[in-house]
Amino acid sequence: MEQQLQSLQQFYNIIIEFFVNYSFQILGAIIVFVIGWFFSIKISNAVDSLCKRNDLDVTLTKFIVNIVKFGLIIGVTIIAVGKLGITLTPFIAGIGAASLGAGLALQGTLSNYGAGISIIIGRTFVVGNTISVEGVSGVVEEIKLAYTVLSTEDGEIITIPNKHIIGEVLVNSFEYRVVESVVGIDYSCDPKEAIEVITKVLNDFKDDVSQEAKAQIGIKEFGDFSINIEVRYWVYTKVYFETQYKVNLAIYEAFKKHNISIPFPTYNLIKKD
């Protein structure tokens, strides 16, 4: 029992001695860290407001704000630890060695992060753009450091690792996708009238069809049974198929109204005796 009391007394003395010797250093470190944290938040919020006032892209704004915030917090932490009299040189050397090993083990993941930084800084595309890459397409909903999230008209969410975007052929059609369709009319019909009818139909879809990119309508080819008129127009990606189906139906009804016939293949059957 007496030995246990002596051990407790020794432990108590060590604690008292530690706080007597290092209490002001601990208090100083805490004060430095709290003040530094407070100013880090304030400065990062100021950077955020500045980016928004200058209409900077959302993803780039988040990236810059996070870099500023975590950079300041890391700096404050180093200063606070220094107040305790702890040298960080061996610790930093250990982190460097561990980072090298982790980098070799996580090459694929790190390449995604490197590609993400390249996308954010280079602004190859931004949130709201329509992109096509690696055989998939959709509207950019979010750009992370490791991956990019797309959404489709069907409500599907597509996640693409960023390393599969950088270095590949990328098509950015911004908010729109182009509709390319062909409709055939009989040779007895006037193609100029058909083109005028199609133009009027597209003008009736002002809310869905882009008015900035002018629609292209003209004779594509002279087929065996019809004059084939190609129609190219831009629609919002979010309603791509819906708009295409509506326009096709409207063209069909307008052709019927103006007596423009859409022929079907006919073949002469030779009757053998």
> pTM of the predicted model, to two decimals?
0.63
User: For 153, phi and psi rounded to 5 degrees?
Assistant: -60, -25
What whole-number distance in Å separates Cα of residue 246 and Cα of residue 144?
Answer: 36
Q: Are 224 and 145 in contact (CB under 8 A)?
A: no
Determine what percent of the chain is predicted with pLDDT higher than 90: 38
Q: What is the pLDDT of residue 157?
A: 94
CATH code for the domain defined by 2-86: 1.10.287.1260
Tokens in use for 41? 């938040």
> Which CATH fold would you assign to the domain 175-257?
Alpha-Beta Plaits (3.30.70)
| Contacts for 28 with CB less than 8 Å, ≥ 6 apart | 83
What whole-number distance in Å separates Cα of residue 174 and Cα of residue 134?
Answer: 17
- CA-based torsion, 144, 147, 152, 154: positive or negative: negative
Domain residue spans of the chain: 2-86, 125-173, 175-257
> Which CATH fold would you assign to the domain 125-173?
SH3 type barrels. (2.30.30)
Q: What share of the chain is helix, strand, coil (3-state, %, to 5)?
A: 55, 20, 25
Q: What is the pLDDT of residue 148?
A: 94
pLDDT in tens, 181-203: 999 999 999 999 999 999 999 99
**Does the pLDDT at position 270 exceed 60?**
no
Mean pLDDT calculated for residue range 21-46: 81
Q: What is the pLDDT of residue 102?
A: 46
At residue 87's C-alpha, the angle toward residues 70 and 95, to 5°, is: 55
Continuous segment of H or E residues that includes residue 53: helix 2-53
Give bridge partners of residue 229 from the DSSP assignment. 183, 219
User: For 230, phi and psi rounded to 5 degrees?
Assistant: -95, 140
pLDDT in tens, 158-173: 999 999 998 888 999 8
